[in-house]
Amino acid sequence: MAVPVSGVKMSNANTQPSSLISCISVEQLFGHYNYRIPESSESSGAMSPLLILYGDNGAGKTTILWLIYNLLSPRINRGHRSAVAHTKFKRFEVQFADGTSVTALRSNRSLEGAFKIVISVDGSTVLETAIPVDKSGNVPAGINAPHFKEVIQYLKDRGIAYYMLGEERELQNSAVSTEDDDQPIHRTDFNFQLLNSRPVDRLHEHKSIDVAIERSVEWMRQQVFSGSKLGEANSNAIYADIVKRIVDIGANPQVGPTLTIEELSDSLANLERRSSAFSEFGLASKIPVTELQILLGTASVDKHAILLNVLTPYVEGIVARLDALQPVQDLLATFVSNINGLYKDKEIFLDLKTGLTVKSSHGEPLSPSSLSSGERQLLSLLCNVLYARSQPSVFIIDEPELSLNVKWQRQLVSSLLDCIKGSQVQFILATHSIELLTGHSNCVVKLNHRPKERS
């Protein structure tokens, strides 16, 4: 008997983010292959934010990626369950670091068509539903099976976004969009190309790069807004301290500032240098301090105490605002540095007001659509990774080395990891590239058939 969603109790035993996939297992993939990823059961629950699948052609790497994406997507009437129904396997399970697992399985001898989705927590089934198919093998729109809606709602409530970048280089994501999920797609057979996150994603590649840039700038502005609100709150608290300091001086002349005029002047100089880095992205204006330093240097000694008590909160208020925005500034600097370190004869620029722009080495503005296929792929991928930081996400990429030269292949994984530091984003990649694997061998899983796997 399935437990109602409201009664599902999540395990707190594992402190890793619940979005991290810890184990993937499949039985009789294509009627033959059995895999457990990673192979050792002791590794379950300890998967890193990076997993790289490596194996021979035909071993099933791409199929495994699509099964992950289509099984876990909460979107309805978009072909995800049909895609699973058309894939030949006996059992496919995805386990998460918090003890949750989502399994697709077939109880009869057939390896295609109808299947069940079972959700378990710490090994105990809490929800399951049957997924039927029609005569063409597709899952019909408007499934009426018991507990189907509860299973879909459970997947939604986990709050994990799944992104899939296949060989066609159309980024798809599982975020539920009410304007199209309520309407079924009418087609004679399932087609992965139709499983896009938004209608705009179905346009040509040059439009896809514009969408990726738009998403990343949107994320940037959201983060700056959040950081500014936090900095403003901290700043207001600090400025309220000005009155208290002045009152204390009046009540007790012995109470004085802890800094000297020289130390305050040095603090202002450091603040100017720090704010300069923020101004490059339009996160904050550069703070000119020359005039203040001159006035401090010419002030009489009897004015030092009041100047220090007034200016110290001013400095602390600016520091509070910059501190709140520091994680965003660090990430944007890493993002720009990674791309510009690979681009040749061109650079990207990020600004809060103007967004992302591309310029030639001579300063001539360039359209993102005019970039080479490799340049567009790199920029689009990293832009979408920034956007994925908005919530716990699993980013699935098939052959990320496509259109990339050897140097870029070596650097790509490190650039991706740089852009997800401090977030709940996980990458699952499938590749044939030895260059891409370099330096990340501890995250590589070679697909090895397990003939003794249970059936």
Looking at the whole model, is its pTM more than 0.75? Answer: yes
Mean pLDDT of 60-73: 96
Is the confidence at residue 2, as pLDDT, over 80? Answer: no
The pLDDT confidence band at residue 201, using thresholds 50, 70 and 90, is very low
pLDDT number for residue 185: 38
The pLDDT confidence band at residue 269, using thresholds 50, 70 and 90, is very high
Is the confidence at residue 418, as pLDDT, over 80? Answer: yes
pLDDT number for residue 315: 86
Q: Which residues pair with 402 in a beta bridge?
A: none
Mean pLDDT of 251-262: 65
The residue that leads in pLDDT, 244 or 267, is: 267
Q: How far is Cα 263 from Cα 259, in angstroms, rounded to an integer?
A: 6
The residue that leads in pLDDT, 301 or 206, is: 301
Q: How far is Cα 343 from Cα 150, in angstroms, rounded to an integer?
A: 47
Q: How far is Cα 20 from Cα 149, in angstroms, rounded to an integer?
A: 24
The pLDDT confidence band at residue 248, using thresholds 50, 70 and 90, is low
pLDDT number for residue 170: 80
Average pLDDT, the chain: 82
